[in-house]
Amino acid sequence: MRMELDRAAPLLQVKDLVVEFPTRRGVLRALDGVSFSVAAGEVLGVVGESGAGKSLTGASIIGLLEPPGRIASGGIWFDGQRIDNLDPEGLRRLRGRHIGAIFQDPLTSLNPLYSVGQQLVETIQAHLPVSAHEARERAVALLQETGIAAARERLDHYPHQFSGGMRQRVVIALALAAEPRLIVADEPTTALDVSVQAQIIGLLKRLCRERGAAVVLITHDMGVIAETCDRVAVMYAGRMAEIGPVDAVIHRSAHPYSAGLMASIPDIDGDNDRLHQIDGSMPRLNAIPTGCAYHPRCAHALPRCARQRPELQAVGQGLAACWLIDAAALAAAPGLDQSPSAIAALRKPHGGMAWVRDETQACASAVQPQAIAPLVQVRDLARHFDVSAPWLNRMLERQPRQWLHAVDGVDFAIARGHTMALVGESGCGKSTVARLLVGLYQPTRGQVQFDGQDAHAAFGGRDALALRRRIQMIFQDPYASLNPRWTVGDVVAEPLLEHALAPTRAAAQEAVVGLLQSVGLGAADLGKYPHQFSGGQRQRISIARALATAPEFLVCDEPTSALDVSVQAQVLNLMGDLQRARGLTYLFISHNLAVVRHVSDQVGVMYLGRLVELAPTRRLFAQPSHPYTRMLIDAIPRMRDHGRERTPVQGEVPNPLQPPSGCSFHPRCPLANARCRSERPVMLNIGGAQVACHAVQEGRST
Amino acid sequence: MSQANPSAWARWWDSDLVHSFRHSPAAVVAALLATLCVLAAVLAPWIAPHNPFDLATLELADSRLPPAWLETGMAKYWLGTDDQGRDILSALMFGARISLLVGLSSVALSVLLGVSLGLWAGFWGGRWDAIIMRTCDVMLSFPAILVALLIAGVGRALFPQAHEALAFAVLIASITLTGWVQYARTVRGSTLVERHKEYVQAARVTGVSAVRIMRRHVLPNVMGPVLVLATIQVATAIITEATLSFLGVGAPPTSPSLGTLIRVGNDYLFSGEWWITIFPGLMLVLISLSVNLLGDWLRDALNPRLR
């Protein structure tokens, strides 16, 4: 039926779109023959890893292509009218009035100098013939619709007075202000915390359904796509790999890239198998392979794939550009296995080794850390930051000193060879814990014991280097964690030379090559600079550097959150392999519960500087106890159930400078009562997990 | 080295910076002019037609001759002579030598001072930052010329008899002391950004000492803007030097810089001998303009946003 609707009235039609960037080293083709259409009221998801060209597609539709980029051929039609060659004035009239846009960063998509109301009224009046008073009334109605409480008062507030989630609601209100028929949303929830992301997706979905607006939703998050979209387009290297109904693409991918992409996403409901990984990475624009752009990474590539570029052709309910579809059809030829299973196997991702974990041991280490002497023992760890205004301002305005309690009393233990994960939304203090453990910060209170010795006393003492050798860290941003002016060889050799682990330069060089090989790189990479590597390769270099001193304990601060999912799978698998080979102990910081479930033995959930739940991984995901944990797990968009409606999550993380009284989660908690508002709960062992919640401890939670 | 490896030369020729240089006519012309001026200054003792310091060769009869193309001009004094019969062209070349020497060395010294202090302030923050940056603020609240005049004046008062010998030291010191502030502020800003980057934290976790982190990790990453600033500052320093010399507190008349020449010529401007002051003035404009143009080009070429 959807296909029928398509043919009847394509609201937006993109045909053979080619976008080029002329550079002095030749013309780069960023989009190459992209075609799709969106029907009125339909939600089309556009997915792909970074560099796939999905944002460029969105920018071309709204006419915001950054020069020197230009549309070289093909075209875009909106409601039958060609829009890619409009003059600026025609484009301006179209944008906002008929096509709305929502961008990733709610902080920069609003003008900080104007109140939210001024921006809304301006947009409304620019496109609709209404008086100032009517426009204001409309603005109030819009804000109410997007779920902003006390909309009339909030209208006069400035963007900085709104939280991140609230700002994105305002951006949505702005995009909807002139009742556009198409909305282009480019990563609208990527900058938001998972609990807020769920609210925004729900809002976007509801408003578009109510108004019958079509949406082009660009995102890298398959969960968001699965929950929101009717159809999905998978892009690779500026080309369309596959397009079809969302269920079909996610569960019965016709293109090996889509299949690999889906399989490499850690699933919150899945089992603890080793992740499927796609080797290699997205090609750069100046080195797109001939034939099918995906063939160098494809496990099933045929000789033909390297020579001839496949076109989109019908498969099942959708379209895919892959020669294997033909191969499946040709399987009828004699000598080839033509059973359906063999053809299915052609498209199935390869690999799949179990990530073996000793469940009983993991449980024991979480609940009774004393049973096995833990490698790392954290007791009542706290770190407060002085965020007071400069003293002169403080004196003049008679303000007291202000302290940010980033971490406020955290206890846990990690057994040797195990992985402990810390999860929580931004600002919960998980990264501060990481930096405390490696000695980048001094604790305000409490203690970290590493292998029986007081770590912070040692960091300040004469044997600091000896301890630093045993504790290393892997950072989040692969672009910032390597000095751009150093060669890879120098980067990895630095710890060796610093700790005098290599007697000569030649020995250091040899050791560096060994380290690079252990993370899947080679001697040929020694003299290269970081910018010559992709994000995933850089993260491998970071890991090689961290391993240089043969540490026992690795603190990993969001090591994969800046990476694409296929590359994330490579890095997570590598970390698992290294842990098994070297007996490493990990502290894994992440906001991604699915990843955490995949890698860890025990999980600590943090909220505003405190642990609220600490449990073995299986137990935490099977029976989350704390209301916050339940909310977090429920807020994750699932790939499995398309169109799932979920229990709405309320509110956002409060300002950590003024944490709520009692249990800091009580303003958002459905189970809160008078005791929760006044008395801070302590961690108690309840049925195999440690939980800090009055409701759970009193048995009110079910 | 480029000969040993021809591809290195090709790579350099093809690099973005060189490419942008080759395709910027202003930069090429500026570079040619600057090279010409520098060559003339450096090679002055060998190529100048006369030696303006050799009093024996001066003839008072030849004083205040106009340039060669005017009626009363003489072919051997191409740009004319000054009040003591010195050849203007030769004086220009020797004067530019002194101007460039003072300009370059004072910029080198202020880069050294400013970058070190800025790095220190940005890396350690807190008290160090407050002390160094407030000093910067104090320095900035005085006009550069005033500070230079003060230092030159104090230098003169302290060493009255050694003035000739100390003149250049005082000159360079005074320009340095007013110039370092800009570098300190620039470097401090970049350092504040860099020191929070994860590669610096990675080095700290490894146990690399703070001074080594500053020198080996942070410094190379904050030098880009300094390079641009230093290029433009060379022109500013030359002008400051000329100003001080013009005001009589700079280079002594016995070894005249461009500023001194302009000052000497200034007295004759209204009596019709315009060439004595105009040619040194033109030379000064030429040098500072070409250096500024080069600096502007470098700023744009190194700015990733404009690329």
Which has the closest alpha carbon to A534: A567, A573, A572, A486?
A: A567
Give me the mean pLDDT over the A416-431 stretch.
90
Contacts of residues A437-442 at CB distance under 8 Å and 24 or more positions apart, as own/partner, are A437/A376, A437/A378, A437/A471, A437/A555, A437/A587, A438/A471, A438/A472, A438/A473, A438/A555, A438/B205, A439/A464, A439/A467, A439/A468, A439/A471, A439/B205, A440/B201, A440/B204, A440/B205, A441/A383, A442/A383
A587-622 confidence digits (pLDDT tens): 999 988 888 988 899 999 999 999 999 999 989 998
* Residue type, position A170, single letter: V
DSSP SS3 for A234: strand
Pick from A440, A465, A549: which is nearest to B204 by CB?
A440
DSSP SS3 for A186: strand
Q: How much is the pLDDT for A647?
A: 59
For residue B153, the tally of other CB atoms under 10 A from its CB is 13
A-chain CB neighbours of B207 within 8 Å are: 464-465, 468-469, 498-499
Contact A604, A423 (CB under 8 A): yes
Which has the closest alpha carbon to A167: A211, A126, A113, A111?
A: A111
| pLDDT category of residue A356 using cuts at 50, 70 and 90 | very low
Which has the closest alpha carbon to A406: A79, A133, A657?
A: A657
Greater confidence, A502 or B163? A502
For residue A460, the tally of other CB atoms under 10 A from its CB is 11
Contact B62, B75 (CB under 8 A): no
Distance between CA atoms of residues A198 and A201, nearest Å: 5
B-chain CB neighbours of A483 within 8 Å are: 199, 217, 220-221
The secondary structure of residue B216, as a DSSP letter, is I
Tell me, yes or no, whether B125 lies in a domain. Answer: yes
Give me the mean pLDDT over the B251-270 stretch.
80
Greater confidence, B297 or B187? B187
CA distance to partner chain A, nearest, from residue B208 (Å): 7
Q: Do B202 and A545 touch (CB under 8 A)?
A: yes
Q: How much is the pLDDT for B298?
A: 85
* Residue type, position B302, single letter: L
Give the H/E segment covering residue B142.
Answer: none
On the question of pLDDT at A435 being above 70, the answer is yes
A548-582 confidence digits (pLDDT tens): 999 999 999 988 888 888 888 888 989 999 999 99
Q: How much is the pLDDT for A640?
A: 67
- Could you tell me the CATH superfamily of domain A1-98+180-197+206-354? P-loop containing nucleotide triphosphate hydrolases (3.40.50.300)
Q: Do B220 and A477 touch (CB under 8 A)?
A: no
Q: How much is the pLDDT for A355?
A: 37
Greater confidence, A5 or B303? B303
Residue of A nearest to B193 (CA): A480
Question: Considering chain A, what percentage of its residues have pLDDT values greater than 70?
Answer: 90
Q: Would the CA dihedral through A240, A244, A249, A255 be positive or negative?
A: negative
Strands A419-423 and A602-607: parallel
Distance between CA atoms of residues A648 and A203, nearest Å: 11
Distance between CA atoms of residues A405 and A200, nearest Å: 29
Give me the mean pLDDT over the B22-36 stretch.
89
Question: Rounded to 5 degrees, what angle do the CA atoms B273, B240, B244 make?
Answer: 65
On the question of pLDDT at A333 being above 60, the answer is no
Give pTM, 2 decimals.
Answer: 0.81
B84-116 confidence digits (pLDDT tens): 777 888 888 888 888 898 899 999 999 999 999
CA distance to partner chain B, nearest, from residue A195 (Å): 27
Q: Please tell me if residue B192 touches chain A, with a CB cutoff of 8 Å.
A: no
Q: Please tell me if residue B304 touches chain A, with a CB cutoff of 8 Å.
A: no
Greater confidence, A96 or A494? A494
Tell me, yes or no, whether B271 lies in a domain. Answer: yes
Which tokens in the block code for residue B31? 């570079």
On the question of pLDDT at A24 being above 80, the answer is no
Query: Which of A450, A483, A589 would best serve as a mutation to test chain B binding (most B beta carbons within 10 A)?
Result: A483
Greater confidence, A613 or B171? A613
Which residue has 């010399």 as its token pair?
A: B245
Strand partners, A495: none
Distance between CA atoms of residues A80 and A477, nearest Å: 44
Pick from B19, B201, B206: which is nearest to A494 by CB?
B206
Q: Please tell me if residue B221 touches chain A, with a CB cutoff of 8 Å.
A: yes
Q: Do B201 and A473 touch (CB under 8 A)?
A: yes
Pick from A473, A477, A480: which is nearest to B205 by CB?
A473
Q: CB within 8 A of A280, min separation 6: which ones? A: A296, A297
Which has the closest alpha carbon to A53: A220, A185, A204, A189?
A: A220
Pick from B205, B207, B220: which is nearest to A485 by CB?
B220
Which tokens in the block code for residue B75? 């072919």
Give me the mean pLDDT over the A325-345 stretch.
51
Q: How many CA atoms lie within 13 A of A231 on its CB side?
A: 23
Q: How much is the pLDDT for A485?
A: 87
Q: Please tell me if residue B205 touches chain A, with a CB cutoff of 8 Å.
A: yes
On the question of pLDDT at A26 being above 80, the answer is yes
Q: Please tell me if residue B220 touches chain A, with a CB cutoff of 8 Å.
A: yes
Angle of helix A627-635 relative to helix A194-211, nearest 10 degrees, comes to 50
Which tokens in the block code for residue A95? 């944008």
Angle of helix B88-124 relative to helix B126-140, nearest 10 degrees, comes to 150
DSSP of A396-416, one letter per residue? Answer: HHTPPP-EEEEEEEEEEEEET
B-facing residues of A in 415-474 (CB < 8 A) are 435, 438-440, 464-465, 468-469, 471-473
How much is the CA Rg of chain A, to the nearest whole Å? 27
The secondary structure of residue B208, as a DSSP letter, is -
Contact A263, A247 (CB under 8 A): no
B-facing residues of A in 505-544 (CB < 8 A) are 542
Which has the closest alpha carbon to B22: B33, B13, B9, B10?
A: B13
Q: How much is the pLDDT for A191?
A: 76
Distance between CA atoms of residues A83 and A89, nearest Å: 12
Q: How much is the pLDDT for A349?
A: 45
Question: CA torsion B53→B57→B58→B59, rounded to 10°?
Answer: 180
For residue B17, the tally of other CB atoms under 10 A from its CB is 12
Q: Do A475 and B198 touch (CB under 8 A)?
A: yes
Q: Do B206 and A542 touch (CB under 8 A)?
A: no
Tell me, yes or no, whether B220 lies in a domain. Answer: yes
A-chain CB neighbours of B215 within 8 Å are: none
Contact A245, A231 (CB under 8 A): yes
Which tokens in the block code for residue A160? 């900085």
Residue of A nearest to B212 (CA): A498
Strand partners, A554: A472, A586
Q: Do A24 and B199 touch (CB under 8 A)?
A: no
A615-644 confidence digits (pLDDT tens): 999 899 988 999 999 888 888 877 766 555
Q: How much is the pLDDT for A579?
A: 92
Tell me, yes or no, whether B285 lies in a domain. Answer: yes
CA distance to partner chain B, nearest, from residue A515 (Å): 16
CA distance to partner chain B, nearest, from residue A235 (Å): 28
| Whole-Å CA distances, A143 to A116, A154, A246, A321 | 10, 9, 31, 43
Strands A610-616 and A453-454: unpaired
Q: Do A473 and B202 touch (CB under 8 A)?
A: yes
On the question of pLDDT at B186 being above 90, the answer is yes
A65-110 confidence digits (pLDDT tens): 887 888 999 999 998 889 888 888 888 888 878 898 988 877 788 8
Which residue has 């019965």 as its token pair?
A: A252
Contact A458, A467 (CB under 8 A): yes
Give the H/E segment covering residue A641.
Answer: none
CA distance to partner chain B, nearest, from residue A436 (Å): 11
Q: How much is the pLDDT for A8?
A: 54
Q: CB within 8 A of B193, min separation 6: which ones? A: none
Q: Please tell me if residue B13 touches chain A, with a CB cutoff of 8 Å.
A: no
A271-325 confidence digits (pLDDT tens): 556 778 888 888 888 888 888 889 888 888 888 888 888 888 888 788 888 888 7
Q: How much is the pLDDT for A570?
A: 87
Q: Would the CA dihedral through A93, A94, A95, A96 be positive or negative?
A: positive
* Residue type, position A121, single letter: V
DSSP SS3 for A361: helix
Q: Do B205 and A438 touch (CB under 8 A)?
A: yes
Q: Please tell me if residue A394 touches chain B, with a CB cutoff of 8 Å.
A: no
Tell me, yes or no, whether B34 lies in a domain. Answer: no
Extents of the domains making up chain A: 1-98+180-197+206-354, 108-178
Tell me, yes or no, whether B37 lies in a domain. Answer: no
The residue count for chain B: 307
On the question of pLDDT at B3 being above 80, the answer is no
Greater confidence, B195 or B301? B195
CATH number at residue B264: 1.10.3720.10
B-facing residues of A in 473-492 (CB < 8 A) are 473, 475-477, 480-485
Structural domains of chain B, count: 1
On the question of pLDDT at A336 being above 90, the answer is no
Greater confidence, A461 or B58? A461
Strands A10-23 and A81-82: unpaired
The secondary structure of residue A273, as a DSSP letter, is B
Q: The domain containing residue B140 runs over which residues?
A: 97-302
Q: How much is the pLDDT for A287?
A: 84
Contact A649, A634 (CB under 8 A): yes
Q: How much is the pLDDT for A328?
A: 64
Which tokens in the block code for residue B106? 């004072």
- The end-to-end CA distance of chain A, in Å, is 43
The residue count for chain A: 702
On the question of pLDDT at A188 being above 80, the answer is yes
Q: Do A468 and B220 touch (CB under 8 A)?
A: no
Distance between CA atoms of residues A76 and A83, nearest Å: 6
On the question of pLDDT at A688 being above 90, the answer is no
| Whole-Å CA distances, A596 to A256, A391, A604 | 26, 42, 10
On the question of pLDDT at A654 being above 60, the answer is yes
DSSP SS3 for A4: helix
Residue of B nearest to A459 (CA): B207
A-chain CB neighbours of B221 within 8 Å are: 483-485
Q: How much is the pLDDT for A34?
A: 92
Distance between CA atoms of residues A694 and A675, nearest Å: 8
A227-277 confidence digits (pLDDT tens): 888 999 999 999 999 999 998 888 888 888 988 888 888 877 765 567 788
For the beta sheet containing A214-218, the strands, ordered from the edge strand earlier in sequence to the opposite edge, are A99-102, A182-186, A214-218, A43-47, A231-236, A239-245, A318-320, A313-315
On the question of pLDDT at B42 being above 90, the answer is no
On the question of pLDDT at A5 being above 70, the answer is no
Tell me, yes or no, whether B111 lies in a domain. Answer: yes
- The end-to-end CA distance of chain B, in Å, is 29
Which residue has 């549309």 as its token pair?
A: A71
Tell me, yes or no, whether B229 lies in a domain. Answer: yes
